[in-house]
Amino acid sequence: MKKKNTFLAVITIIPLLMTSCVTLMTLSIDNRLIRKVRILDWVFNPTLSTEQTSKVIFWQPIETYNGIDVTNWVDTSNLREITGDRNARGLRFIRMGHVPPGSSEFTFQASYTRETSNTITTYRVTDLTFSYNFEAGKEYTVLLGRKLKNRGGLFRFDDFSYFIHIYDYMPPISNKRRITPTAYRAVNERKLAPHLLDSIHVFDTDVVEENIRLQRERERERERERN
């Protein structure tokens, strides 16, 4: 049975003059930035050997694994020692999990924005979950993707469905624990499509915003009752 996700969205509104559209928050891809990307290892069960676990690149930051908080499992306080870089400023990290075999459940959060004529609204959706049965000795990539929402054959161009995509693919990683610019750019839904194993639905933008609208109505109603 598919587990029902619960959503908590936090909204930030920033004044801006723009036309109406929806965008996914992404970082600019620049060769200088890509060269500063490093792989950090998450070992979920240190009693298992590498051959007994799967290797999973999480492009979407994970917060818990089977109910255990893993956000602070990697100490980044001494970046020079971890990476061997003389200049650790501006480093970005992608975490590779060494995941035990069997069903694993993860939680994470995601963000998206809406732009109108005078504002940018950022929605942060928390308490999102997905589960997958990773096999020992295999390599995977986990990526958050989206597609336009289809309503009875008609597409709403302002609403998206978001998915966790799981691929049987691992980008090339150098001995210095780096991902090359070419490999970095190859990690997207279109280029990885032949490696797709599963797509797990995690949330819809219209549902998130409707829940926020209802929550605001309930808060206004409680305020009226108090007055």
* Mean pLDDT, rounded, for 157-173: 87
pLDDT, tens digit (0-9, with 9 covering 90-100), for 191-200: 888 999 999 9
- Rounded Cα distance between 158 and 113, Å, is 11
Strand-strand pairing, 119-134 and 37-43? unpaired
- Rounded Cα distance between 38 and 61, Å, is 14
pLDDT, tens digit (0-9, with 9 covering 90-100), for 100-124: 998 899 999 998 888 878 888 889 9
Domain residue ranges in the chain: 8-226
Mean pLDDT score of the chain, rounded to an integer? 76
DSSP-assigned states of every residue in 130-157: EEEEEPTT-EEEEEEEEEEEEETTEEEE
Lowest mean pLDDT among 65-79, 84-98, 165-179: 84-98
197, amino acid identity: L
pLDDT, tens digit (0-9, with 9 covering 90-100), for 179-189: 766 777 777 78
Nearest CA to 26 out of 166, 133, 145, 120 is that of 145
Q: Where are the beta strands (DSSP E) in 29-153?
A: 37-43, 54-58, 64-65, 68-69, 92-99, 102-115, 119-134, 139-151
Q: How many CB atoms lie within 10 A of CB 56?
A: 24
Q: Which residues, listed in sequence order, are joined to residue 96 by a DSSP beta bridge?
A: 41, 57
What pLDDT score does 101 carry? Answer: 92
